[in-house]
């Protein structure tokens, strides 16, 4: 696909720093880009790379000055993403409406028009699949599950029975939705608590590869609309996640925890069970939240505490060897 400068400026609501007639056919980083590629710079510390870049066009902000052909936008990375969306139309597979002859689809399932169902997909009784949804090979969808329109479910996904998934979901390979929550009772023998609840996933949710979202013991585990989930994240039973959250890779949320809207959990962070995390909170990488967190906080450390406090604690810990030596010397002087 060729994109003209005019098409790109219209798409991104930008303006050029000159008059150019360049056909853009690809996108790349500043170091790798060629004369028909578009690139971007969002961080001033990489400004030196612009001078050496061979990119045909570069997205910049109004504050950045360059003699290279550029398009000025408010958010270069967002503009770049919009161009990638258009270019991807020539690269990503085009799934035509189809129910593959090697798929196993129950006669009681309701499959809307425009749906693509790949080979070796299993769809059980009373499943509902919305218009233009794509379900790629080897995926299992359990009975009474509902999947909204325009969703994309990649290979080897397992969605168990009685699950609700909203519209425009993207579910990457290896995801398991609705597996049993980890519920047992008893001391010497572990009696399994039947997990008879469900999972409800809102609209525009993206779930990264190999995530596990457990069904509720009773009631529901819920992921709010607009939330984006990285690879290998675990949501235990009865977890409630708000809207437009960002949950990064290898994070874990224990049972019955409640997370507000616009919360960010950085990589390998964790939240213990039955606690609440307020709206607009950022949980730093590897932080462990073991108590309620008020809205609009940044927390880090183990256990998680306000970030400034956690940094002070970390700084003091690094001084412990020197402090220990000083105390040892002072103790010797006192004893003499």
Element containing residue 16 per DSSP (H, E): strand 15-16
Alpha helices, H only, 133-263: none
Task: Count the Cβ atoms, other than its own, within 10 Å of residue 216.
Answer: 24
Across the range 135-164, mean pLDDT stands at: 98
The partner residues of 282 in beta bridges, in order of sequence, read 264, 298
Q: Which three-class secondary structure state does DSSP give residue 276?
A: strand
The structure tokens 């002070």 sit at 312
Across the range 286-309, mean pLDDT stands at: 93
Provide the pLDDT for residue 1: 78
Q: What is the pLDDT confidence band of residue 313, given thresholds at 50, 70 and 90?
A: confident
Q: Look at residue 73 and tell me whether its pLDDT is greater than 90.
A: yes
**Strand order across the beta sheet in which 140-141 lies:** 104-105, 122-123, 140-141, 158-159, 176-179, 212-214, 234-235, 252-253, 270-271, 288-289
| Given 116, 172, 234, 237, the catalytic residue | 237
**237 assigned to active site:** yes
The answer to whether 297 touches 282, Cβ cutoff 8 Å, is: yes
d(CA 281, CA 89) in angstroms, rounded, equals 35
Rounded to the nearest 10°, the torsion over CA 51, 53, 59, 61 is -20
Q: What is the pLDDT confidence band of residue 2, given thresholds at 50, 70 and 90?
A: confident
The structure tokens 């980890």 sit at 182
What phi and psi values does residue 123 have, to the nearest 5 degrees?
A: -125, 115
Mind listing the pLDDT tens digit for each residue in 194-252? Answer: 999 999 999 999 999 999 999 999 999 999 999 999 999 999 999 999 999 999 999 99
Q: For the chain, which domains are there? A: 5-90 (3.40.1390.10), 98-307 (2.160.10.10)
Kindly tell me the burial class for residue 277, based on how many C-beta atoms sit within 10 Å of its own C-beta (0-12, 13-18, 19 or more).
buried
Average pLDDT, the chain: 95
The DSSP bridge pattern shows strands 184-185 and 191-192 to be antiparallel
Provide the pLDDT for residue 312: 87
């Amino acid at each position: 696909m060729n994109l003209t400068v005019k098409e790109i400026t219209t798409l991104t609501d930008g303006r050029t720093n000159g008059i150019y007639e360049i056909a853009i056919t690809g996108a790349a980083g500043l170091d790798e880009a060629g004369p028909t590629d578009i690139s971007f710079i969002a961080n001033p510390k990489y400004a030196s790379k612009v001078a050496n870049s061979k990119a045909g066009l570069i997205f910049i902000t109004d504050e950045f000055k360059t003699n290279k052909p550029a398009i000025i936008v408010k958010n270069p990375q967002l503009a770049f993403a919009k161009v990638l969306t258009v270019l991807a139309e020539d690269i990503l597979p085009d799934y035509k409406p189809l129910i593959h002859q090697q798929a196993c689809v129950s006669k009681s399932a309701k499959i809307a028009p425009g749906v693509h169902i790949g080979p070796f997909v299993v769809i059980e009784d009373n499943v509902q699949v919305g218009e233009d949804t794509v379900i790629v090979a080897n995926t299992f969808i359990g009975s009474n599950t509902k999947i909204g329109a325009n969703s994309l479910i990649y290979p080897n996904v397992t969605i168990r029975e009685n699950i609700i998934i909203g519209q425009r979901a993207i579910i990457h390979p290896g995801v398991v939705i609705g597996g049993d929550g980890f519920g047992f009772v008893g001391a010497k023998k572990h009696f399994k608590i039947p997990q008879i609840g469900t999972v409800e996933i809102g609209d525009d949710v993206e779930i990264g590869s190999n995530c596990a979202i457990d069904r509720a013991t009773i009631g529901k585990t819920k992921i709010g609309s607009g939330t984006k989930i990285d690879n290998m994240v675990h949501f235990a039973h009865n977890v409630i996640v708000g809207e437009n959250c960002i949950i990064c890779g290898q994070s874990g949320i224990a049972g019955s925890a409640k997370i507000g809207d616009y919360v960010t959990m950085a990589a390998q962070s964790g939240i213990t069970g039955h606690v609440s995390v307020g709206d607009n909170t950022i949980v730093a990488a590897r932080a462990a939240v073991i108590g309620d967190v008020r809205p609009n906080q940044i927390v880090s450390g183990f256990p998680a505490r306000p970030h400034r406090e956690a940094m002070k604690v970390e700084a003091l810990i690094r001084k412990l060897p020197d402090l220990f030596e000083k105390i040892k010397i002072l103790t010797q002087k006192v004893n003499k």
